[in-house]
């Protein structure tokens, strides 16, 4: 099994593997191109993102600056938007449904590291995937940790740290995030 296959399957992998280093370089070039492209050149920005990500819907927009590890492990649905300074560490796959919005400075982190000090200093890492359902809104400065799954219609309050998975139709918030209320789909607005 290659180091890339190990990485994507959640096993320990060598971060200095030549294939992984090359894939990160390619992603870096595309990120740099995206981040220096004018915000008003939406067609070019969309084309760059579609070449960077594993899959996208037709409508996708991410404000600068944007950072990711590989890009190709990110899959977003139709009508995706991320505000300024988004970071998606896609060492494992990140799946985001349709009609999702990420506020400014949101972080989605699949990377994790050993607790043991001696293991942590080696170039060996682990990763756990993140899945976000349809129609989700993640408020500014929120952090989604490795292995988290969020259902459909979830709203994550600003500044929240999401350390576990949640089902559909909930407003979550805090550190660590917890259910604040169930969302009634007939509500006109939800404060986060």
Domains of the chain: 3-182 (2.160.10.10)
Residue 38 tokens read as: 């004018």
Q: Catalytic positions, please? A: 113
User: pLDDT grade, residue 116 (50/70/90)?
Assistant: confident
Q: Which of these ranges, 53-57, 65-69, 115-119, has the smallest mean pLDDT?
A: 115-119
Distance of alpha carbon 84 from alpha carbon 162, whole angstroms: 20
For residue 52, is pLDDT > 50?
yes
For residue 128, is pLDDT > 80?
yes
For residue 45, is pLDDT > 70?
yes
pLDDT score of 95? 98
User: pLDDT grade, residue 114 (50/70/90)?
Assistant: confident
Q: Which of these ranges, 87-96, 164-173, 176-185, has the smallest mean pLDDT?
A: 176-185
Residue 73 tokens read as: 């492990």
Distance of alpha carbon 105 from alpha carbon 177, whole angstroms: 17
Q: How many angstroms from the chain centroid is the CA of residue 184?
A: 26
Mean pLDDT across the stretch 141-146? 98
Q: Give the mean pLDDT of the chain.
A: 95
pLDDT score of 186? 62
% pLDDT > 90, the chain: 89
User: pLDDT grade, residue 120 (50/70/90)?
Assistant: confident
Three-class DSSP labels, the chain: CCHHHHHHHCCCEECCCHHHHHHHHHHHHHHHHHHHCCCCCHHHHHHHHHHHCCECCCCEEECCCEEECCCCCEEECCCEEECCCEEEECCCCEEECCCCEECCCCEEECEECCCCHHHHCCCEEEECCEEECCCCEECCCCEECCCCEECCCCEECCCCEECCCECCCEEEEECCEEEEEECCCCCCCCCC
For residue 188, is pLDDT > 60?
no
Mean pLDDT across the stretch 41-57? 97
For residue 190, is pLDDT > 90?
no
Distance of alpha carbon 177 from alpha carbon 159, whole angstroms: 9
Q: How many residues does the chain have?
A: 192
């Amino acid at each position: 099994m290659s180091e890339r296959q190990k990485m994507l399957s959640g096993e320990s992998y060598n971060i200095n593997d030549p294939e992984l280093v090359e894939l990160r370089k390619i992603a870096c070039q595309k990120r740099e191109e995206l981040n220096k492209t004018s915000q008003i050149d939406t067609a070019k920005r969309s084309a760059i993102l579609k070449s960077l990500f594993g899959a996208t819907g037709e409508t996708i927009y991410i404000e600068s600056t944007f950072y990711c590890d590989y890009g190709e492990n990110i899959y977003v649905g139709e009508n995706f938007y991320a505000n300024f300074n988004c970071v998606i560490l896609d060492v494992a796959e990140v799946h985001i449904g349709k009609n999702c919005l990420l506020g400014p400075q949101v972080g989605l982190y699949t990377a994790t590291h050993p607790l043991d000090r001696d293991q942590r200093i080696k170039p060996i890492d682990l990763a756990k995937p993140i899945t976000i359902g349809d129609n989700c809104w993640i408020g500014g400065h929120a952090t989604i940790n490795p292995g988290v799954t969020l259902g459909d219609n979830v709203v994550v309050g600003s500044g929240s740290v999401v350390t576990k998975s949640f089902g559909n139709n909930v407003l979550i918030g805090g550190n660590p995030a917890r259910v604040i209320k169930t969302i009634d789909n007939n509500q006109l607005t939800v404060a986060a």
